[in-house]
Structure 1
Amino acid sequence: MIETIPAALAAAVRRDPTTPLLTWYDDASGDRTELSGATMANWVAKTANLLVDGVGLGSGDSVAVLMPPHWQTAAVLLGSWAAGLAADLGPDPRPVEVLFTTPERAEVAAGWSTTDRYATGLLPLAAPLRQIPPGFADYTVEVRAFGDYFSSSPVDKNDRALAGPVEESHLSVCEMATERAVELGIKPGDRVLVDASAYPDPTDWLLAPLIAGASIVLCGNLDAAKVQSRTEAEKATLLLA
């Protein structure tokens, strides 16, 4: 039984660092981004280093992640957990050490009490924002300056993984993700095509497949007319839509 989220990612990378772990589609923009296990681990390490070395956070601190399903959201969440931090998914404002959001949600995010704020446009090729909201730094610009490997004390199963009104440990989140994978029918080796609008909870689109040993095809603004051809092209074995 996997007991921490970083352990689940490490297991996925060990299985095969070169095959796709998460493939992102946005049918509104035409964006397709494919991340192997090694590439995802690289983004996770850079994000963890940004939070620890750049912001100065430590074990037990909280990170608000007010972002829709996206591969960058996965990188921010997994990077936060790798750094031993607790993710706060909102929606109600609370004091946190750092916050990540998008320009569209910047006004809502302004209600949160925090010192450091990052925004990302979730643009193709992780392009920088043309206009950064006042008081924010551009995540995709800042994170590139940090190292490709992250080294810290191992995350313990009893450490906080989720912050907010109901706090959860890594172990409890892994247990919930395992149960959810069973409910959704996700099995080891599956390639799961997920409609992001139908399954916006990270437990469904990220953690359940990761814990189960599956890979993810995450689709934003999913065009129903493309589901069959995409399922065939991506060799998806399970559709969550």
Structure 2
Amino acid sequence: MTATDVSSLISELLATDPGRPRVTWYGPDHERVEFSAKTLGNWVAKTAGLLVEELDCHPGSVVGIQLPVHWRSVTWLLAAWEVGVHAVVFDETADPRQATDMAFDVLVTDRPSSPPPGSIEAELVVVALPALATRWTGDVPPGAIDAAAEIRLQPDVFTPYARPTADTPALTTAAGTLTYGGLFAQETPEPGTRLLTGAGPSHAIEAYLAPLRAGGSVVLHHDLAALSDDARAHLVSQEQVTAI
């Protein structure tokens, strides 16, 4: 595929096969969620709309993403890159010290009581993790936005007001920072790859973005390492996985 940004990537996926599964997620409570290109594009557009219209984000804004292995991690990252923000990722494998000297404009988290450094002054967005939750469970922290409730109110189509430059930071993990100039220049797997992964959002480039750029799809498992050999083999067969 020839996409050079998230908008063109989703357009190409829609043009290729709008109903084909693109993101499949297995959660801890026997949950399974599957998104076609059309549904994925809809969620990305709504999430990007929330970032811009409710959180005043623009190219260069710094957005902390503190989420686990989850389909919501995929949609938040794709939306962040569609808007052009600098996504700073924290997951189970990330080093929380990476952002000690960085101040966030927004923090997107499922753990509002344990925010990373640099997020004290950030706009807080709380993300409910049950598969198809429509609101945060319990009380929303004062001043925070309930992502599940607010995203549903956003338009189904998003048109960026501005584009990031090639040297605008796109993603920071414990491994370093990647700019928008390099975001779509990374290596991709074989065309059509259906990738099974247990990687968190700190590995979003190779685990989430790369297979989509190859015209393929992603199967996310919340705890892939804990599966027995038989359970993994069954999952591979059931989901027609071509790479792990």
Aligned-partner SS, 1:11: helix
The equivalent residue for 1:69 is 69
Q: Deviations over 1:114-135 (max 9, x none)?
A: 3311111311213422224524
| Alignment-mate amino acid for residue 86 of structure 1 | H
Aligned residues of 2:103 and 2:118 also touching (Cα < 8 A)? no
Select between 207-216 and 159-168 the one with higher mean Cα deviation.
159-168
How far apart are residue 212 of structure 1 and its match? Answer: 2.0
Q: Which amino acid aligns with 1:221?
A: D
Name which of structure 1's ranges 221-230 and 141-150 shifts more when overlaid on structure 2: 221-230
Distance 1:146 1:211 in 2: 26
1:228 aligns with 2:233: yes
Write the distance in 2 (CA, Å) between the matches of 1:189 and 1:164: 27
The aligned length equals 229
Give yes or no for the alignment of 1:161 onto 2:170: yes
Moved over 6 A (4+): none
1:185-204 counterparts in 2 under 5 A?
Answer: 186-196=189-199, 201-204=203-206
Over the matched positions of the two proteins, sequence identity in percent amounts to 28
Q: How many angstroms apart in 1 are the aligned matches of 2:170 and 2:117?
A: 23
Specify the alignment match of 1:38 in structure 2.
38
Q: Deviations over 1:73-114 (max 9, x none)?
A: 1111111111121211153242111110113x6313475133
The verdict on how the C-alpha distance between 1:169 and 1:9 changes in structure 2, with shifts beyond 3 A counting, is: farther
**Partner secondary structure for residue 21 of structure 1:** strand
SS in 2 for 1:125: coil
Query: Of 235, 239, 242, which aligns to 1:237?
Result: 242
How far the C-alpha of 1:15 sits from its partner, in A, is 1.4
> Could you tell me the TM-score, scaled by structure 1's length?
0.84
The structural deviation recorded for 1:60 is 1.7
Structure 1 distance, partners of 2:19, 2:162, is: 24
**What are the superposed Cα offsets for residues 119-175 of structure 1, whole Å, 9 maximum, x if unpaired?**
113112134222245243221111111111101246356143225895432221222
For structure 2, the residue ranges without an aligned partner over 5 or more in a row are 91-95
Given that 2:42 and 2:156 are in contact with CA atoms closer than 8 Å, whether structure 1 keeps it comes out as: yes
| CA contact 1:6–1:78 (8 Å) conserved in 2 | no
Structure 2 Cα separation of the partners of residues 55 and 64 of structure 1 = 13
Counterpart CA distance in 1 for 2:218 and 2:162 is 26
AA partner of residue 67 (structure 1) = L
Letter in 2 for 1:194: T
1:32 shift after superposition: 0.1
Structure 1 residue aligned with 2:93: none
RMSD of aligned residue pairs (Cα, Å) = 2.4
- Tell me the residue number matched to 1:216: 218
2:207 to 198, 205, 208: 205
Work out whether residues 205 and 216 of structure 1, in 8 Å CA contact, stay in contact via their aligned partners in 2: yes
Is 1:148 paired with 2:153?
Answer: no
Shift of 1:235: 1.3
1:109-148 maps to which residues of 2 (within 5 A)?
109=116, 112-132=119-139, 134-135=141-142, 136-148=144-156
**Structure showing the higher helix proportion among its residues:** 1
